[in-house]
Amino acid sequence: MPGARLTVEQRRTIEQGYRIGLSQGQIASIIGKHPSTVSRELARSFSAPGSRSPRRRS
């Protein structure tokens, strides 16, 4: 269904995939969404003030 929101599980999969270095295309294939959806989710998730890139080490 076009415009359907991501589930919590899909959001977790995006984060986990990004953390282990999968490409946005690979993550999109896993969750069955377009790569632009993954790109928007990553931008949304990690653009909040005080948030850090999931690849950044402490």
What pLDDT is stored for residue 58 in this prediction? 43
Whether residue 54 is contained in a domain is answered as no
Whether residue 58 is contained in a domain is answered as no
Whether residue 27 is contained in a domain is answered as yes
Q: Which is more confident, 10 or 48?
A: 10
Question: Closest Cα to residue 24, out of 4, 5, 45, 52?
Answer: 45
Q: Which helix (H) or strand (E) holds 14?
A: helix 8-19
Whether the per-residue pLDDT at 55 is higher than 70: the answer is: no
Could you give the number of structural domains in the chain?
Answer: 1
Whether residue 32 is contained in a domain is answered as yes
Question: Closest Cα to residue 39, out of 52, 57, 26, 58?
Answer: 26
Question: Closest Cα to residue 38, out of 19, 9, 10?
Answer: 10
Whether residue 50 is contained in a domain is answered as no
Whether residue 22 is contained in a domain is answered as yes
Taking the model in full, what pTM does it have? 0.75
Whether residue 57 is contained in a domain is answered as no
What pLDDT is stored for residue 57 in this prediction? 44
Q: Which domain holds residue 32?
A: 8-45
Whether the per-residue pLDDT at 5 is higher than 80: the answer is: yes
Distance CA(41)–CA(39), nearest Å, equals 5
Whether residue 1 is contained in a domain is answered as no
